[in-house]
Structure 1
């Protein structure tokens, strides 16, 4: 049994076609063929069937090999092997045909080379198809990638850019970006010297990773990107160009800035409370102790001592609250579960009359850590602080799930007319920075439920990590 071969014969001589088929069988092929001799016949054959090979005579009464080749290519069969087998073709004509895209030519009176030429061209065609498929796959990835993909010269001029990069940088298309940006350092970098730092790092190490760029977009807006890139060098070691990926981190950067503002506001509040409350009480207690020994006979020393004790108790409570509020500053260094266990235990100590319980669902990741996990812990911290300070509750439960965190108490609750305090406002801002939602359900005399909904998969990226990626 021969090797199956679907061959389209462009030949006006039926006898010559039979000779070709006999030669193919001698070479170990089992040909399935169709003979055509006009453009119309060939067009119909190409549309109706799939072919492995085209063998064409060079000159026919109503057709010729170059017209046949043009028809094949015009139909999109760019990888289909095309061989001329002719009784008469001059050397100049053969060279012209090869330049036009014919893969080989063979004389009809010497077909000994035909089968080896077919074997070679079928193999080459498969290589071309695989290469073209790889190029098409790369082009599809390049055009449709979410991340920006680029190549630039070391001097700072774009060589290639995909649509995602053009959009990221505020341009209508890659062509628009390449046409308008002639100097990346001067036109895109919003911070002086940052492009030079990029160049210094990539020249030194051969690559940069998670390189932050503040950019001036083409539409006048400012954005942030994170770039991973490498230097491509020639055989002598000289840099030919840079290539890499860029990711838009603008929203992440804004969230980090918003969280920074929240934390700074918290630190100012703590400092203010320490100064206005704790320091005043300590100052009063100290001054009172100093003058107690000089108080005249008959003075109410017991009442003064009671006031001193009250001032010191308020100071201790204020300092304890400040320590509680600052406790999560290093929360990113430990797991969320460990942070919450510490918070619950601390609240037990600060409010011994109240029962605090912590429970986690089976799908909650025990090793969850990182900056996002720390923000979840801060929401729970604020909710517990509100319960301890205002709810007069006897029982509090903290429930953890992969996408849901709840803090429930049986305290005094509050009505819908109660204005939101700083604690609740801070929790909502933190939830928004996480891309989640904060829900609060409360009724006077029936307790309060604080529910933090976390976007699916948000915390999975933090699992097992420590700090910034």
Structure 2
């Protein structure tokens, strides 16, 4: 309360204070002088009065001795009255020695200042006493008059002094102070000019010099501050990274344009006006912001905190946050400040890098698998050939209802699946060469679907719809069969254990980039769309981008290799096509394969699949270095009606053929043989008999194998392991073909 009163009290005036001070000093000095003069005057008056008293006593002593000796009372009274007329004497008292005579005369209203008494003697004999009372009356009146005059003079002087002092102070003090005030006001207004010439009083010169120095220093500091403010304002406004200040409650109290752009606002003002709680409005995970706050409260600084934010337009971005707390004097958190960097591109690059590294590892894995597969394909396929061939031969002599036949069917199924797996690995690892030729799709697809109906579980219903008019594509029949079988097998697995429906559709599609922006990988033109739709559990959205990755599978361990769709994707790409996937989790999946349509009516097209092995009666030269496999192939061919001459050593086969070249209609040659390989055997056989039809079978197609086979006039190349149906179809096609 006292502080408030002090603040609200009116300002004091230096001029008034100095004037009052001077008046008080003069008044005190004058009072002291007056009192001193009064004291000296009184002292002097008392001394003079005492001298007069001594004089009066001496004179009255001589005058009263005779009358008192004679007891002449009239004379005594007369003398007393005469002395009493003196203004300095206020009373006279006369008494004799015996106390018989006592005369006392006193003036009224005349107080005595002192009494002087003297003994009256005659002939040195005391005869009485006389006492005179003296007064300062006259002197007091004089002193009072003097005091009054002096006081009046002092008052006149004080009034004159007050007027003159006020005028002098106004001229010598107030004006310079007013000028100083104007200078200080100019400092407050931002004008820091020198004013030393305006105030020339020596007493003000130190203050003037100090103010001038202060003004120069302020000018320097202000200039430095303005430069720094301009510099840091420019950094703040033009920084690429976002700079912010926000309260613990989530309100943004300061932001630069970069921070506004990061969150999708047009300006910092719009951002600060619309954001009331940044945690709930822009953080994907509010718990992340809570962890950020806790970290700042605990560790005082925050570095490299990564979080996901939602922009104003709804797009999710990754940011890197650095910050620190700002506290008051009591340690209370006022707000946080720091920098924000948009690292979305970096995160995407890291994700892409991880994907590429994964792809590279998978590629390296596939290269290793391909190298391994290429190295063991011959021997492995030979073993599979034995398993498949023996199973098929044994099943011919066993009744359909036999348990043994059921077991052999399982062995055959396992062998065929192992064959398909090896073929997928070889295809995906580019160890298998494609043989592209015009392929009539409708009858081919019908045969594959017919075959799938016999192999898929009974709980799976598969149907085919052919809706297009275009029907020819340039493709490898074996790989096309593999594509459709892989898609339908995957669809059947997706509907386990309850089963469902698979719809296979063949239709025409015309791609226009302006209408089919999602098909921009394919060139414009006419395509044939092979679609496989199932009613399975669908594909989770998070897995859609991974379904073509090698070895990616959601099946249980042992239920799939993860190569099915990868092989499909690779085959379709090599055919210039595209694979599109549409899936709704819980409702099913549709996979569409687009293949460029080959619209040439003059091209001779054929289908590649049948379910009944064709037979014949021609004579075949069989060259196979593995005795067990050779025996199985010979038995299969014999069972199909052919006459077979078997050789397990290629030189023996060449020697025999040179002497009996007219006896054979077809040569069936294994490619990988230790002494002379199949192509070299074929070249020698062709030199001896140019019209001989030849088929080469191999564990995998090396690069350039087809070109080498063509130079040897080998008509067809088929892949190991051989099964009865494929072998029969291949032989019949070569023998029935026109020369």
TM-score range, shorter-chain basis?
0.3 to 0.5
Taking structure 1 as the reference length, what is the TM-score of the superposition? Answer: 0.38
Taking structure 2 as the reference length, what is the TM-score of the superposition? Answer: 0.26
